[in-house]
Copies of this chain bind each other. A is one copy, B any other.
Amino acid sequence: MMEPVPAARIFTLLEPGPVVLVTTRHAGRSNIMTISWTMVMDFTPRFAICTGAWNHSFIALEKERECVIAIPPADMLDTVIGIGTCSGADTDKFERFGLTPVKGRYVRAPLVAQCLANIECQVAEIIAPHGIVVLDGLAAYADHQRSEQRMLHAVGDGTFVADGERFDRREAMRSKLPDGV
């Protein structure tokens, strides 16, 4: 059950640095890739992802100027790895990994029903020499009912870490939090 995430809180989905899935739709086909090179840029929310022509999804980002960032929970680890180790050039990854595409409101790239959260994004700019794709988050949805709520973090050496102990420091951070968070 995907519920809307208030605009002011959308950046909090990416700020913890989870590994994410990025979906695109181009030439009548949906595709999905695994990425852990992402960064929050502001609270509007604006994000950066770092990718390039070596990823089959890059041409879809360039041509369609939109995507969905989906955040997989820890129990999707092997799907995340499977998605990251094959190519949309020769594989329908939604079919292969049993992912359910869900129609978004603003973009044609599909949301992923199985994920913890989905962010509909528009490409604001591609900073070409660096492979930085600047994205504006248009809307987001989260599934608070899913039993597995832990995000995954990629170490980059083939190991992964799930979210662990949580600490509430809202009072100490109050002066630094944007409105609505």
Contacts and interface: CB of A to CB of B under 8 A. Distances in A.
B174 A158 contact: yes
B173 A85 contact: yes
A16 B158 contact: no
A155 to B, nearest CB: 5
A160 B130 CA distance: 30
A12 B153 contact: no
Contact of A167 (B131, B160, B163, B176): B160
Contact of A158 (B77, B127, B159, B169): B169
Contact of A36 (B17, B134, B155): B17
Contacts of A170: 157-159
Interface string A142-177: 000000001101111111111111111111111111
Interface string A46-89: 00111000000000000000000000001001100100110000
A153 B153 contact: yes
Contact of A40 (B18, B77, B156, B172): B156
A11 interface: yes
A37 interface: yes
A62 B20 CA distance: 31
A181 interface: yes
14 contacts: A12-B156, A17-B17, A37-B40, A39-B39, A39-B49, A41-B131, A48-B130, A81-B172, A127-B127, A127-B130, A130-B134, A160-B167, A161-B167, A162-B164
